[in-house]
Amino acid sequence: MAQALNAALRDSLRADPDVLVFGEDVGALGGVFRITDGLAAEFGEQRCFDSPLAEAGIVGTAVGMAMYGLRPVVEMQFDAFAYPAFEQITSHVAKLRNRTRGKIELPMVIRIPYGGGIGGVEHHSDSSEAYYTHTPGLTVVSPATPADGYSMLQEAITASDPVVFLEPKRRYWTKAEVELPAVTEPMRRAVVRRAGTDVTLLAYGPMVTTAMEAAEAARAEEGREVEVVDLRSLSPLDADTVCASVRKTGRAVVVHEAPVFGGYGAEVAATISQRCFHYLEAPVARVGGFDIPYPSPKLEEHHLPHTGRVLDAIADLQWEEDR
């Protein structure tokens, strides 16, 4: 996936002279995850350059650039490093179009490597998606596959309004054959990754792979056919695809890394309950991180959802044999 994201940035820089990339260590170093590797050498320091360690300044500068017609793509080095820029994002990035009655667009992308699973300490492993999805005016997306990494990032860069692009850092090393330029489904649309009839697993970003593994285990161990829906876009939520799947299966489990309380899964569960209530065979379940500050690296394997916890959630749904 890392190479797919790098290719998307490179192809966007080649295609549009208004696109530029900046952030902490994204220049000569190529970023801590090497997503911008080689871009400064190819396009020069006018189009791919390092910034000071000042996230609010990075986003604020991008706002000014976008107001004057450029298409900045900025990198927040780690998820929690973006919090100093939160005021810029919520007060200005998200509101400028509405504040100017549509006269000013902000075509900018904020890339945020997020989530755990790499042995990082606190400030390096947060799943902060709910902060952004709760802010009207932002499009929030998260790819789960290399092909989506390429296609969705290119689409985000060409969008007229700001996109928060959440990159699942534990999946940077996911490998797949991708023929470039890859064009997948539009980034605001959810996709069914695996068809099933008994229960729907709803996941995004890093948890799509976990959901797929759990679906295979459920078939092998219990004979249950599990459908997996990759949400891809968190705001807006593709409720039509989600509800079509849940109406078919009658059961749903939402899986994400973030703590369950107040997490994004609550919004998905509420949407399903409102739109699919008469189709549900059981209450919507959620599997997520525990409601604690992110633990030390030695404990994160217990904190993050894994196949066993997803299977337990599926088993706890109301099944005919339990009645």
Residues designated as active site: 124
Q: What tokens appear for 49 in the block?
A: 């350059």
Q: What tokens appear for 165 in the block?
A: 């692009």
Nearest to residue 309, comparing CAs of 211, 172, 168?
Answer: 211
Q: Which amino acid is at 259?
A: P
Residue 258: phi and psi, rounded to 5, are: -65, 155
The reply to whether omega before 236 is within 30° of 0 (cis) is yes
Q: Which amino acid is at 287?
A: V
How many angstroms separate the Cα of 209 from the Cα of each of 106, 129, 144, 203, 306? 33, 18, 8, 9, 10
Nearest to residue 36, comparing CAs of 71, 74, 63, 82?
Answer: 74
Determine how β-strand 139-141 pairs with β-strand 233-235: antiparallel
Nearest to residue 110, comparing CAs of 144, 82, 152, 136?
Answer: 82
User: CB–CB of 62/157 below 8 Å?
Assistant: no
Tokens 């633990």, residue located: 295
Nearest to residue 187, comparing CAs of 136, 222, 223, 238?
Answer: 238
Buried-state track 232-269, b at ≥16 Cβ within 10 A, e below 16:
bbbbebbeebbbebbeebbbbbbbbbbbbeebbbbbbb
